[in-house]
Chain A
Amino acid sequence: MADFEGLYNYWIVIVLAMAGLYIVIARGNLIKKLVGLNIFQASVFVLYISFSKVSGGTAPILEKGIDVYSNPLPHVLILTAIVVGVATTALGLALVVRIRKEYGTIEEDDIHSQDESM
């Protein structure tokens, strides 16, 4: 039981990752797919932040009396990954806008049937 609670963050990571991937696969709406993709990426952010935590450590600030602090490197890495995620989402949404203009819909099935009938 203690193990389960100690790994609380990682359970959240798994739930988020699975929920995100499921949305990407199961939903036909292009925007919802992007939301799913974002949730999936967010799970990775949580993963990185979780394993940078050092028990009993505080924020990594150079100050007298602070000896134990969390590993700041994954924080920095994940800032980069968040930027990449934002760029991906922005580009994805831009594509959806263009798709909507060309097809008049953002439902995958409708787009597919329009392509088939061409």
Chain B
Amino acid sequence: MLKAHLPALVIIIPMTCAALCVLLRRKDWAFTVALLATWASFAGSCLLLVRVINEGVISYEMGGWPPPFGIELRVDALNVYLLIIVSGIGSVVAPYARNSLLLEYVEDRAYLFYSAYLLCLCGLMGVSITGDAFNLFVFLEISSLSSYVLIALGFDRRALTAAYQYLVMGTIGATFIVIAIGLLYQATGSLNMVDISKRLPEAGYDNTTVIAAFAFLVVGAGLKIALFPLHQWLPNAYTHAPSTVSAFLAATATKVSVYILLRFVFTVFGVRFSFEILPTATPFLILAILAMFLPSIVACFQKNVKRVLAYSSVAQIGYMILGLGLVSVAGLTASIVHLFNHALMKGALFLVLGCIFYRIGSCHIDRMAGIARQMPWTMAAFVGGGLSLIGIPLTAGFISKWYLILAVLEKGWWYLAVLIVTSSLIAIIYLWRVIEAAYFREPPDDLKEVSEAPLNLLVPAWILVLANFYFGIDTSISVGVAEIAAKALMGAG
């Protein structure tokens, strides 16, 4: 009985628990509720993964109304992959929130943080699971609004302006997406994504309404993804947000936006319309290559390590879009695997920075000088995450780059493979600056003796670091599911 309603439960549990947190008010109770809700959501996603692998696509009729009239929750390999990323990172980060909160904002309002956190999780899960285009917009706004709140909770007053900037850019992006959905509805008379994709050929591929919808969608999703050059909101937002929030959003929010782009471009519009009738592949490839290089170079000159990682996130999105622009099963597999692996590596690195911030109250590279002597386990975790970000063999990052290079070589574009490797070398430069400072420089004179970060901060960080190594060796799940998802996306065209 309960099993049949799993697709609805994974989003309803965080949603109701968000309200429960506000009602309970007590910090510890709210924390417990948030922790259990994220774990329940993750457990549900894992069960869904097993079911999707064994039984194929799951379609759930919300409220018993059959699609295309009612809202359908549709779980295929790609959906469940995203569910796992979001709820998995959510469950690792949730226990971490308890301590990293203390330094950063008023304790008696902590329940509001947990509530916003659960709402953000619920929104991101909802976007990943829904089969209805307008429902997707609503969930997107739930996640965006709560993430503006989460970012604004940062320690620094610049968090407020960063949140405001993100609010303006994010709303424009979401409004573009809603225009696109409206135009699609106008052209096809349906809001169900699978139904739209079936009706689009009837509407005609040279229909200007459809072409306009496509343009609005790509730009709108591009804003939410922080696709270069639409990334201006991201570095500030990730830098000034509380550590917990940076880790959670960096690992999940942009991934879900990439999912929106993949879902619409490949499933709804279809490969034939998106890439054969419209010349979309080349602009994507050009933007991807620019994204791989320019933000990486900017990252090399940043003083705040959080900002280094934020720019690096923009660069990593380049790899995902590159795989998308190749328009092949191999390219899409690389993109989708990188969604997962990048969530692991960026989540780990931001959590490590949270540990450092907890102890020294800064993420400035000069303040971190010599920190490795005092916090060896924390910095070792940073090195582990960093190796994965660069793409050293036996780490998750290597798997992504390996599949991306294979996909590029399959097309015969060896020069792109050279560019991928070169851009990874830039990652070595900006990460080495941090490692050099932490391990080889003398600590600043006024730095007090600090000890290792508390265990409930260090353990989540290490879980993600070890996951980076695990998924660098055993790829049967991460790559296996991604391949099924990529084939489904290409086959839909």
Contact = CB atoms under 8 A, between A and B. Distances in A.
Interface of A: 21, 24, 30, 33-34, 37, 40-41, 44, 47-48, 51, 73-74, 77, 80-81, 84, 87-88, 91-92, 95-96, 98-99, 102-103, 111, 115
B72 interface: no
Contacts, number: 67
B172 A37 contact: yes
B168 A37 contact: yes
Contact of B161 (A21, A37, A81, A115): A115
Nearest to B176: A44
A24 B168 CA distance: 8
A41 B163 CA distance: 19
Interface stretch (B178-186, B329-337, B414-422, B484-492): B178-186
B160 A102 contact: yes
A52 to B, nearest CB: 9
Nearest to B167: A92
A16 to B, nearest CB: 12
Given A47-B182, A98-B152, A98-B160, A80 B138 contact: yes
* Residue of B145, B172, B182 with highest tally of chain A CB at under 10 A: B182
A24 B148 CA distance: 18
B164 interface: yes
A43 B487 CA distance: 39
A92 B172 CA distance: 13
B160 A44 contact: no
Given A48-B182, A81-B137, A99-B160, 18 more contacts: A24-B172, A33-B168, A34-B168, A37-B172, A44-B179, A47-B179, A51-B185, A51-B186, A77-B182, A84-B138, A87-B141, A88-B141, A88-B167, A95-B148, A95-B152, A95-B163, A102-B157, A103-B157
Contacts of B149: 91
B175 interface: yes
B158 interface: yes
B157 to A, nearest CB: 4
Contacts of B157: 99, 102-103
Contacts of B172: 21, 24, 37, 40
